[in-house]
Structure 1
Amino acid sequence: MALGPRFKVPKLEASSFKGWAFVLVAGTVLAVVALVFRGTGTTGETGCVMEVQGSAPLDVYRSASTQFEPVDTLRAGQLVDAERGVIENGFRKLVGDNRWAVNERLAATAGSTC
C-alpha cells in the first residue's frame, strides 16, 4: 500500500507575488532571516571590539559622564566597536557620535587591539 503525499505545494505563478499576501510572506521570511543570522553590530573598523561584561544592561551616554540621560543601552554579552585608547573619566569612547560607556564593564575581545 503506497501512501501519497499528504499535502500539495501550490504552484508558484506570477500572480502569487502580488498584493498584501506577498508583503506578509516576504516580511515574515525577512524577519526570521534577520533573527537567525543577526550580526554582532560591529564592523571592526577600529580594530577594537569590546564585549559588555556582567549580567545587567550597560547604559551608553552622550558624554564621558552620567550627567545626562542614557542615549542607548547595551545588553550583557553584546559586542560593540570602540575607539582605540580613548578613555576619559572611566568611560570608553564607542564608535559613533557621542557614545560613551563605563570602561570597567567592557572587555576587549580576542584579537582586538584596544
Structure 2
Amino acid sequence: MALRPKFTVPKLEASSFKGWTFVLIAGTVLAVVAMFTQGSGTTNETGCVMAVQGAAPLDVYRSASTQFEPVDQLAPGARVDAEPGLIENGFRKLLGDNRWAVNERLAATEGSTC
C-alpha cells in the first residue's frame, strides 16, 4: 500500500487576493525576484557589458550631455550593454536608441571587450 503525502494545496478563491496579506506576500515575492535578477538583463550583444559603480543611481541621457532631463536611471551595481569604444564628451553610448551615461561611473565586467 503506497503512502500518500499529507500535503494539500489550498483552494484559491477571490477572497485570497484581497487585503494586506496578499499585498505583503506579492511584494515579498517580487522583491526576491528583483534581487536575484538585478543587473542580469544584459544580452552581451556587443561583447561590452558595463557595471554601474558607486552607491548612487546613474542617470541615462538621450545624448552625450546633461543638457536634457535623464530618460532612465540605472541602479548601483546594475549591468548594462554598451557600444565598445564609443565615448563622447565623457559619456559612453549604451545599447539602444539615444542612451548615454557618464563613462566615469561605468566599469567593464570580467570578460568584456570594451
**Distance in structure 2 (CA, Å) of the matches to 1:71 and 1:50:** 18
Please give the per-residue CA displacement for 1:55-77, whole angstroms capped at 9, x wherever unaligned: 32221100111110011122222
Please give the per-residue CA displacement for 1:32-80, whole angstroms capped at 9, x wherever unaligned: 5513532422121211011112232221100111110011122222211
| Identical columns (%) | 63
**Distance in structure 2 (CA, Å) of the matches to 1:77 and 1:35:** 13
Deviating runs (4+, > 4 A) in structure 1?
Answer: 22-30
Report the counterpart of residue 12 of structure 1 in structure 2.
9
**Distance in structure 1 (CA, Å) of the matches to 2:7 and 2:15:** 18
* TM superposition score normalised by structure 1: 0.73
| Pair 20,98 (structure 1): closer, same or farther in 2 beyond 3 Å | farther
Q: How does 1:65-104 map to 2 (within 5 A)?
A: 65-104=65-104
Report the counterpart of residue 35 of structure 1 in structure 2.
34
| Pair 92,111 (structure 1): closer, same or farther in 2 beyond 3 Å | same
* TM superposition score normalised by structure 2: 0.73
How many residues are aligned here?
104
